[in-house]
Amino acid sequence: MSIKELQKRAYDNKVKHGFNLDDINFEFCLLYGEVGEAYHAWLMKEDGLGSELADVGIYLLGLSEMLGIDLGKEIEKKMAINEKRVYKRAANGVLVKEETK
Protein backbone atom coordinates (compact mmCIF):
# COMPACT_ATOMS: atom_id res chain seq x y z
CA MET A 1 0.00 0.00 0.00
CA SER A 2 1.38 3.45 -0.90
CA ILE A 3 1.79 6.26 1.59
CA LYS A 4 -0.94 8.20 -0.24
CA GLU A 5 -3.30 5.23 0.18
CA LEU A 6 -2.38 5.02 3.88
CA GLN A 7 -3.13 8.74 4.24
CA LYS A 8 -6.61 8.23 2.84
CA ARG A 9 -7.16 5.17 5.02
CA ALA A 10 -6.11 7.10 8.16
CA TYR A 11 -8.41 9.98 7.19
CA ASP A 12 -11.32 7.66 6.39
CA ASN A 13 -10.93 6.09 9.83
CA LYS A 14 -11.12 9.56 11.39
CA VAL A 15 -14.36 10.18 9.48
CA LYS A 16 -15.78 6.79 10.44
CA HIS A 17 -15.19 7.36 14.15
CA GLY A 18 -16.11 11.06 14.26
CA PHE A 19 -12.61 12.26 15.07
CA ASN A 20 -11.35 15.79 14.44
CA LEU A 21 -11.26 16.71 10.75
CA ASP A 22 -10.62 20.44 10.70
CA ASP A 23 -8.78 21.70 13.80
CA ILE A 24 -5.19 21.54 12.58
CA ASN A 25 -3.79 23.03 15.80
CA PHE A 26 -5.50 20.30 17.84
CA GLU A 27 -4.20 17.63 15.47
CA PHE A 28 -0.61 18.85 15.91
CA CYS A 29 -1.13 18.68 19.70
CA LEU A 30 -2.37 15.10 19.40
CA LEU A 31 0.62 14.19 17.23
CA TYR A 32 2.94 15.75 19.79
CA GLY A 33 1.29 13.67 22.49
CA GLU A 34 1.78 10.49 20.49
CA VAL A 35 5.49 11.26 20.07
CA GLY A 36 5.68 11.71 23.84
CA GLU A 37 4.01 8.34 24.40
CA ALA A 38 6.46 6.67 22.00
CA TYR A 39 9.40 8.26 23.76
CA HIS A 40 8.08 7.14 27.13
CA ALA A 41 7.65 3.57 25.83
CA TRP A 42 11.23 3.59 24.55
CA LEU A 43 12.59 5.13 27.76
CA MET A 44 10.80 2.57 29.92
CA LYS A 45 11.69 -0.29 27.56
CA GLU A 46 8.01 -1.14 27.17
CA ASP A 47 6.83 -3.82 24.75
CA GLY A 48 4.41 -1.39 23.08
CA LEU A 49 7.01 0.83 21.42
CA GLY A 50 6.16 -0.40 17.92
CA SER A 51 2.48 0.32 18.49
CA GLU A 52 3.27 3.80 19.81
CA LEU A 53 5.45 4.54 16.77
CA ALA A 54 2.60 3.33 14.59
CA ASP A 55 0.30 5.82 16.34
CA VAL A 56 2.75 8.61 15.51
CA GLY A 57 2.71 7.52 11.86
CA ILE A 58 -1.07 7.27 11.74
CA TYR A 59 -1.53 10.75 13.18
CA LEU A 60 1.04 12.13 10.73
CA LEU A 61 -0.71 10.40 7.81
CA GLY A 62 -4.09 11.75 8.86
CA LEU A 63 -2.75 15.27 9.33
CA SER A 64 -1.08 15.15 5.92
CA GLU A 65 -4.37 14.13 4.33
CA MET A 66 -6.22 16.90 6.19
CA LEU A 67 -3.72 19.41 4.80
CA GLY A 68 -3.77 18.01 1.27
CA ILE A 69 -0.08 17.11 1.38
CA ASP A 70 1.21 14.03 -0.42
CA LEU A 71 3.51 12.87 2.36
CA GLY A 72 5.17 10.21 0.21
CA LYS A 73 6.25 12.75 -2.39
CA GLU A 74 7.43 15.17 0.31
CA ILE A 75 9.48 12.43 1.98
CA GLU A 76 11.10 11.51 -1.33
CA LYS A 77 11.98 15.15 -2.04
CA LYS A 78 13.38 15.73 1.43
CA MET A 79 15.41 12.49 1.41
CA ALA A 80 17.00 13.52 -1.90
CA ILE A 81 17.97 16.86 -0.34
CA ASN A 82 19.29 15.22 2.83
CA GLU A 83 21.36 12.68 0.88
CA LYS A 84 23.22 15.52 -0.86
CA ARG A 85 23.94 17.51 2.29
CA VAL A 86 27.43 17.73 3.71
CA TYR A 87 28.01 17.80 7.46
CA LYS A 88 31.04 18.69 9.51
CA ARG A 89 31.70 18.00 13.16
CA ALA A 90 31.79 21.12 15.34
CA ALA A 91 34.29 21.55 18.16
CA ASN A 92 31.72 20.23 20.64
CA GLY A 93 31.30 17.03 18.59
CA VAL A 94 27.87 17.87 17.16
CA LEU A 95 27.37 17.38 13.41
CA VAL A 96 26.48 20.65 11.71
CA LYS A 97 25.12 21.04 8.20
CA GLU A 98 27.47 22.94 5.92
CA GLU A 99 25.70 25.73 4.09
CA THR A 100 25.88 25.52 0.29
CA LYS A 101 26.37 28.58 -1.83
Q: What is the pLDDT of residues 24-46, one digit of tens each?
A: 999 999 999 999 999 999 999 99
**For the segment 12-24, what is each residue's pLDDT rounded down to a tens digit?**
999 999 999 999 9
Phi then psi for residue 89, to 5 deg, are: -90, 125
pLDDT class of 101 with cuts at 50, 70, 90: low
Superfamily of domain 3-97: MazG-like (1.10.287.1080)
Q: Where are the domains of the chain?
A: 3-97
Task: Supply the pLDDT for residue 75.
Answer: 98
For residue 99, pLDDT beyond 90: no
The 8 Å CB, 24+ separation contacts for 29-36 are: 30/59, 31/56, 31/59, 31/60, 31/63, 34/59
